Structure 1
Amino acid sequence: MITVRYFAAAAEAAGRDDEQVPAGSGDAVRAALLTRHPALEPILGRCALLADGRRVGASDDVPAGATLDVLPPFAGG
């Protein structure tokens, strides 16, 4: 299992700040998140996924025990 942490609009769409999901490839994790939270669909494609601070691509492994941050684009600064 991995810990997923949602931020900003992703947290709003998921209706929670964090949860546990099975480990797997970036694509598998995205699919699991969309199955659990269909409201993420318009947002997740624009989000950066970071596993323990490293960007996750479609085929990258998200290993068990990792923390995955779901970060939508931020404006301003």
Structure 2
Amino acid sequence: MITVRYFAAAAEAAGVDSEQVPAGDGAALRADLVTRHPALGPILDRCALLADGRRVEPGDPVPAGATLDVLPPFAGG
């Protein structure tokens, strides 16, 4: 299992700040998160996924025990 932490609009769409999900690669995790929280679909496409501080691409594995941060784009200056 991994811990997924949602931030800003991603947390609002998911309806939770964090949860435990099975480990997998970036593409499988994105699909799983949208299945669990359909409202994440349009937001997740614009989000960065970071596993223990490192960007996760679709084929990158996210091992059990990792923390995956779901970060929507931030505006500011």
TM-score for both structures, normalised by structure 2: 0.99
Deviation at 1:11, TM superposition (A): 0.1
Give the unaligned 5+ runs of structure 2.
none
Whether 1:20 and 2:27 are equivalent positions in the alignment is no
CA RMSD of aligned residues (A): 0.5
Q: Please show how residues 55-70 of structure 1 align to structure 2 within 5 Å.
A: 55-70=55-70
The residue type paired with residue 33 of structure 1 is: L
- Name the counterpart of 2:40: 40
> Identical aligned pairs, as a percentage?
83
Query: Structure 2: how far apart are the matches of 1:44 and 1:54?
Result: 17
Structure 1: 4+ residue segments shifted above 4 A: none
Give the unaligned 5+ runs of structure 1.
none
Deviation at 1:3, TM superposition (A): 0.1
Number of matched pairs: 77
Deviation at 1:54, TM superposition (A): 0.1
